């Protein structure tokens, strides 16, 4: 039994020596000195020894147990001290480091784009008009030559708030409101949020538009093209060209889709423009005579042109942004790219 005591004692000391954490040390304690531990089993076995052997081996076992408990306490204190030292080292604060300066907020890229575009139009003599986002069916559709049974209503999915109230699907209602309240000549741009139930990488259920309207005498498609060319050159560079393609909109006649030479490749063809050299950016046309008459303007004396485009679309092209949803996720790393205060 004496050899067994010495064997367990040496094995215990070796395992304690190799412990790297308090958990490991506790496991060794349980293994040897726990209720079912190997050394505890020897203590329990004293009852089976002869009266002559009990005092001899009892003394050896008690001496070994005291030594083992002392080694445990010393090892525990050492590991606790090391744990605290490691924690302090990892959590230390360098008081010499420069403090983080408070960042000043910046305008959202959509707002920056809107301000830039409005500034261009104001330089061309346009005034800015805004209107309600919760619009009537009359101004959103009927005044713009889109009656309730018109198939063009299928072109714009709509959020209805009631029988005759809806979230506007475009900013054109502002044009109808201005034409109904003011006399020509008119030269306005209408910025604002619009709503359509559509959502993917290039569409959002809420997005921003700017629409323009000019009403005067003897206007032509050449006046429309000249205006859009001026704006395009100021936004995307002096080499930008504008192309018209025939299209259809119920509130303009004739109607056109407007393309710009690709700002990425200069019209040579790339992945952005799908090799065509052109990017479709907006719809436009000459104001339909029915729209003028609906708003109380004599279509025999006056005519006009109108256009509309999405701000997100322009910003995606100008800044090379691949997904419209980035504008609405409020990712600071994305938004701070437009912080001009760091320039």
Instruction: Enumerate residues 6+ apart whose C-beta is below 8 A from 43.
Output: 61, 65
Q: Which long-range contacts (CB under 8 A, 24 or more apart) does 138-141 make?
A: 138/164, 139/173, 139/176, 139/177, 140/166, 140/168, 140/169, 140/170, 140/172, 140/173
State how far the alpha carbon of 337 is from the alpha carbons of 37, 105, 300, 322, in Å.
65, 12, 51, 15
Q: Is the pLDDT of residue 199 over 70?
A: no
Average pLDDT of the residues in 56-83: 85
Share of the chain above pLDDT 70, in %: 93
Q: In the prediction, which pLDDT does 150 show?
A: 74
Q: Which residue has the higher pLDDT, 92 or 241?
A: 241
Strand partners, 139: none
Q: In the prediction, which pLDDT does 290 show?
A: 95
Q: Are 281 and 315 in contact (CB under 8 A)?
A: no
**Alpha carbon distance 305, 212 (integer Å):** 8
Nearest Cα neighbor of 250 from 161, 149, 160 is 149
| pLDDT tens, residue by residue, 85-144 | 888 778 766 667 666 667 677 888 899 999 999 999 999 999 999 999 999 999 999 999
Which uninterrupted H or E stretch holds 222? helix 221-236
pTM exceeds 0.75:
no
Q: Are 206 and 220 in contact (CB under 8 A)?
A: no
CB atoms within 10 A of CB 233: 16
Backbone angles phi, psi at 307, to 5 degrees: -155, 160
| pLDDT tens, residue by residue, 269-321 | 887 788 899 999 999 999 999 999 999 999 999 999 999 999 998 888 888 88
């Amino acid at each position: 039994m004496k050899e067994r005591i010495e064997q367990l004692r040496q094995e215990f000391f070796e395992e304690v020596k190799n412990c790297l954490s308090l958990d490991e040390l506790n496991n060794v304690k349980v293994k040897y000195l726990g209720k079912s531990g190997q050394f505890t089993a020897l203590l329990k076995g004293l009852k089976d020894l002869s009266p002559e052997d009990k005092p001899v081996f009892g003394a050896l076992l008690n001496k070994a147990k005291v030594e083992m408990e002392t080694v445990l306490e010393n090892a525990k204190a050492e590991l606790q001290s090391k744990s605290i030292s490691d924690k302090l080292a990892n959590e230390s604060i360098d008081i010499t480091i420069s403090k983080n300066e408070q960042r000043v907020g910046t305008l959202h890229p959509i707002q920056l784009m809107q301000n830039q575009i409005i500034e261009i139009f104001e330089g061309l003599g346009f005034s800015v008009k805004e209107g309600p986002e919760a619009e009537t069916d009359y101004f959103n559709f009927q005044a713009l030559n889109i009656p309730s049974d018109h198939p063009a209503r299928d072109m714009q999915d709509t959020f209805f708030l009631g029988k005759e109230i809806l979230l506007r699907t475009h900013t054109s209602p502002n044009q109808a409101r201005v034409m109904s309240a003011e006399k020509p000549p008119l030269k306005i741009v209408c910025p604002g949020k619009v709503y359509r139930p559509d959502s993917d990488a290039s569409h959002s259920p809420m997005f921003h538009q700017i629409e323009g309207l000019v009403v005067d005498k003897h206007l032509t498609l050449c006046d429309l093209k000249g205006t859009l060319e001026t704006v395009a050159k100021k936004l995307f560079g002096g080499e930008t060209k504008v192309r018209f393609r025939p299209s259809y909109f119920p509130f303009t006649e004739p109607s056109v889709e407007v393309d710009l030479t690709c700002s990425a490749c200069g019209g040579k063809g790339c992945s952005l423009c799908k090799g065509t050299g052109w990017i479709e950016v907006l719809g436009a046309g000459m104001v339909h005579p029915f729209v003028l008459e609906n708003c109380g303007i004599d279509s025999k004396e006056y005519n006009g042109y109108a256009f509309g485009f999405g701000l997100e679309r322009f910003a995606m092209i100008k800044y090379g942004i691949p997904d419209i949803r980035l504008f609405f996720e409020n990712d600071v790393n994305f938004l701070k790219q437009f912080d001009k205060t760091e320039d």
